[in-house]
Amino acid sequence: MIIQATDQQTVARQILGEISGRAADSIIASTRLSDLGLDSLGRLTLAVLLEERTGRPIPDHELLSVQTVDDLERLLTSSERSA
């Protein structure tokens, strides 16, 4: 489980880094997606890239409630567990 969580951290922060243009290691659990300057197109890109790279569908209403990187990583870990 810890290994899975670490994987999801890497995936989430890598993608957020790509979209925002910030270094992935400067993105921490408490970083807010809004602070990364993600607009609606950024959020759409995030949803699509996450699904492509994790191979799991992420329902819109789940991603809508994500505010921080920590929220996102929890969401990915829980969807992995239930998959």
Residues that bind other proteins (CB under 8 A): 32, 34, 39-41, 43-44, 47-48, 60-61, 64, 67
Q: What is the largest CA-CA distance in the chain?
A: 32
- For other proteins, the closer of residues 30 and 40 by Cβ is 40
Please, what is the minimum distance in Å from the beta carbon of residue 20 to other proteins? 15
Nearer to other proteins, 63 or 77 (CB): 63
Q: Closest Cα partner for 78 from 56, 52, 48, 61? A: 56
| Alpha carbon distance 12, 4 (integer Å) | 12
Question: Closest separation between CB of residue 60 and other proteins, Å?
Answer: 4
* Minimum distance from residue 39 beta carbon to other proteins (Å): 7
Quick one: CA torsion of 70, 64, 39, 48, rounded to 10 degrees?
Answer: 90
